[in-house]
Every structure is written in structure tokens, then in C-alpha cells.
């Protein structure tokens, strides 16, 4: 039982360590990927980042977003849109992980109790009920292994979403710097995107529609 919890803890710690490593190692590549994604959506002339955009130069979708995302231009809006949608998906995966971890904890308790009952019956030398207990133990232990495999896949999804989140936030910080927009820094010396003009309202608009 103890070794099972140790193995699970080791897996969890390894995944989180991997996420931190990828945060550092893939930052530049992901920023380039984020901008390439935007360029592949459409090639639109860039509006002035400070003055009110000329909506007639943009397709209808930009016109619709402008009142929520001014003073961002098309590239900025698409970056915020991608970040908002990815953030929503990242949060959903995190909830799935928490729920799966809770299910695993309950299942581990059940399997442990069955193991103790099975050991007790076998120690008594009474063969009555052993076959049934063994069958139930194998069944519940199989369910536990399936839950752990599902959790491992969720960790992988979370890692991918997290890496994308890091890349998009870096790309947005670079976008704001290139457009002369100033903002605050967090305690981790990272750009506080919510402090930049137009970001919060634009982000909330897309996040609430994800």
C-alpha cells in the first residue's frame, strides 16, 4: 500500500518537474509557433495600436471584437483569443486531474481493504470465500490501474496545454513591447498581462465564450 502511494507521488512530482523544465526550454519556439498560428489565420493590415482602429479595413469579425479589445490590432486580438481559449481548456484539464486523483485515492483505499481481508482469510487457513475475494481484488485492482493510466494521459494533456499557455503569454508580452504599451511586472518578474491596456476586457470576452 505504502509503495503504491510512493509510486504515485513520484509520478506526480516527475510530471510537475517536467512542466517547469518545459516552461524554460521551449519558450522561444512556442512564441514563434503562436505568431505563425496567427499569420496562418489571415494576413490583415495592422491598425494603429493607440488610435481607434479603422474597422472598414478589417473583416466583420474584427469589427465585432474592436469594442471589446481596443487598442489591440488584429494580431493582438487573435493572440488574446488563443490564450483565453487555451486557459479555459487548461483549467478544465486541471479539474479533471483533481477529480481523477480523488477517484484514485478512494480506489486505493478499497483495494487496500480487500487485500487485508484476503490476507486475513488466507492466514486463517479457511478456504471459504477466498476465490470470491481474489476475484473482487483482481477486479478492483484492475480498475485502479485504469484510473492511473487515465491520470497519466491527463498529465500529458496538462503539460501540452501549459506549454502552449507559456508560449502565448510570452508572445503577448512581446507584442505589447513592440507596440509601445507599458504594463506592470509580477512578483516572479513576469509581465502582468492584466495591467496592459485592452487585455482584460478582451481576454474576458473570449474566455466567457470558450
Q: What is the pLDDT of residues 23-51, one digit of tens each?
A: 444 444 444 544 454 444 333 333 333 34
User: What are the phi and psi torsion angles at 50 (to 5°)?
Assistant: -105, -50
Mean pLDDT of the region 191-207 = 94
Share of the chain above pLDDT 90, in %: 55
Q: What is the pLDDT of residue 63?
A: 60
Between 168 and 37, residue with greater pLDDT? 168
pLDDT band at 202 (very low <50, low <70, confident <90, very high): very high
pLDDT band at 95 (very low <50, low <70, confident <90, very high): very high
Which residues make Cβ contacts (< 8 Å) with residue 204, sequence separation at least 6? 84
Nearest to 174 by CA among 55, 83, 69, 64: 83
pLDDT band at 62 (very low <50, low <70, confident <90, very high): low
- pLDDT at residue 5 greater than cutoff 60: no
pTM of the entire structure?
0.66
**56 with 49: CB under 8 angstroms?**
no
Q: What is the pLDDT of residue 51?
A: 42
pLDDT band at 93 (very low <50, low <70, confident <90, very high): very high
- Helix H, strand E, coil C: the string for the chain is CHHHHHHHHHHHHHHHHHHHHHHHHCHHHHHHHHHHHHHHHCCCCCCCCCCCCCHHHCCHHHHHHHHHHCCCCHHHHHHHHHHHHHHHHHHHHHHHHHHHHHHHHHHHHHHHHHHHHHHHHHHHCCCCCHHHHHHHHHHHHHHHHHHHHHHHHHHHHHHHHHHHHHHHHHHHHHHHHHCCCCCCECCCCCECHHHCCCHHHHHHHHHCCC
Distance CA 158, CA 96 (A): 10
User: What are the phi and psi torsion angles at 191 (to 5°)?
Assistant: -60, 130
Distance CA 13, CA 24 (A): 17
Q: What is the pLDDT of residue 185?
A: 82
Domain spans of the chain?
A: 2-42+65-207
Amino acid at each position: 500500500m505504502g509503495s503504491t502511494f510512493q509510486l504515485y507521488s513520484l509520478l506526480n512530482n516527475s510530471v510537475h518537474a517536467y512542466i517547469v523544465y518545459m516552461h524554460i526550454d521551449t519558450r522561444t519556439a512556442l512564441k514563434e509557433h503562436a505568431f505563425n498560428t496567427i499569420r496562418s489565420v489571415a494576413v490583415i493590415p495592422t491598425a494603429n495600436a493607440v488610435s481607434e482602429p479603422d474597422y472598414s479595413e478589417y473583416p466583420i469579425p474584427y469589427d465585432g471584437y474592436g469594442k471589446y479589445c481596443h487598442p489591440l490590432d488584429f494580431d493582438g486580438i487573435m493572440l488574446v483569443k488563443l490564450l483565453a481559449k487555451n486557459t479555459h481548456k487548461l483549467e478544465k484539464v486541471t479539474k479533471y486531474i483533481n477529480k481523477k486523483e480523488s477517484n484514485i485515492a478512494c480506489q486505493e483505499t478499497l483495494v487496500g481493504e480487500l487485500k487485508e481481508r484476503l490476507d486475513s482469510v488466507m492466514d486463517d487457513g479457511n478456504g471459504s470465500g477466498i476465490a470470491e475475494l481474489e476475484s473482487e481484488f483482481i477486479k478492483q485492482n484492475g480498475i485502479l490501474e485504469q484510473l492511473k493510466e487515465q491520470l497519466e494521459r491527463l498529465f500529458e494533456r496538462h503539460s501540452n496545454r501549459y506549454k502552449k499557455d507559456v508560449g502565448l503569454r510570452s508572445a503577448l508580452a512581446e507584442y505589447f513591447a513592440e507596440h509601445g504599451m507599458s504594463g506592470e511586472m509580477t512578483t516572479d518578474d513576469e509581465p502582468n498581462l492584466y495591467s496592459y491596456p485592452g487585455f482584460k476586457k478582451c481576454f474576458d470576452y473570449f474566455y466567457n465564450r470558450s
